[in-house]
Amino acid sequence: MAPRLLPWASAPEHLRFNPFVRGGYRPACSGGGCLRSLFYLHNELGNIYSHGVPLVAFALLVPGALPGAPGAVWWLGAGHRAALALAPLGSVLYHLFMSHRRGARLYRRLLAADLAGVAAANALGAVPIIYCWLPCQPWPRGAALAAYGLLCLLALRSAITAGSSARRLGSFAGPALFRLLVLGLRAAGLGGGAPGALGCYGRMDALALLGGAVNAARVPERWSPGRFDYWGNSHQVMHVLVVLALLHLHWGVAQDLHWVVRNPCPGQ
């Protein structure tokens, strides 16, 4: 049986971060109560399932779309699968257990786990992009991967301490600009990689940026507070756009990995 849901003013203070979502808040509950909330309507249900269903779908469908060659292609594919899993997994845990009765302290840890999933997806998702840019130059490639990893760690640190959705979005500007630079160099013919993958990566970043901007702007619920409490609010829109971004990442990486198989380095 579903518990009585709370209006915004009665919700725990740490959950009142969106004043335009006026109702549908779960009361503080145990871990079992959080799990039971998978089966009744509340204002986080759409957020849970909009990343939970893609998480399962990625796990089932992605491995078959990647080449099974050993060596670099194998570990690039493994990292790619992890990238597709970590962002939605952190999100599901955050939204599912954020109403736990342990309160704000656990909430902050869940938020950090959610952001860590985003940072990990950024880091691991770009590894094939950078690898295929410099497929036969191990030292420059290693330096580029290390620099990008450092940017992702700095982005995570900044996002965890950010006080608003807009600042969290801005925290990931460094990795995004690095990816844009690599894509620009690849587009100019300076490096390797599948030409068709570039469009996928560009759409990936555009969709992710649009999702972050929608979430920071709190639209459409800002225009009609209370109307989008359960469905169609900015965070759910962001989730859908992030899933689409991950799909474009996958399509680009699949092309790049097949390109690596077809174009081995001299001497291999």
Sign of the torsion formed by the C-alpha atoms of 101, 220, 249 and 132: negative
CA distance readout (Å), 168 to 14, 114, 209? 17, 12, 12
Domain 8-262 falls under CATH 1.25.40: no
**Distance in angstroms (rounded) separating the CA atoms of residues 79 and 75:** 6
Q: Residue 254 — φ and ψ, nearest 5°? A: -60, -40
Give the count of alpha carbons within 13 A of 114, CB side only.
21
- What's the pTM? 0.95
pLDDT of residue 268: 56
pLDDT tens, residue by residue, 148-193: 999 999 999 999 999 888 899 999 999 999 999 999 999 999 999 9
**Distance in angstroms (rounded) separating the CA atoms of residues 225 and 246:** 30
pLDDT at 48 over 90: yes
107 neighbors 14 (Cβ within 8 angstroms): yes
Q: Where are the alpha helices (DSSP H) in 134-172?
A: 138-161, 165-171
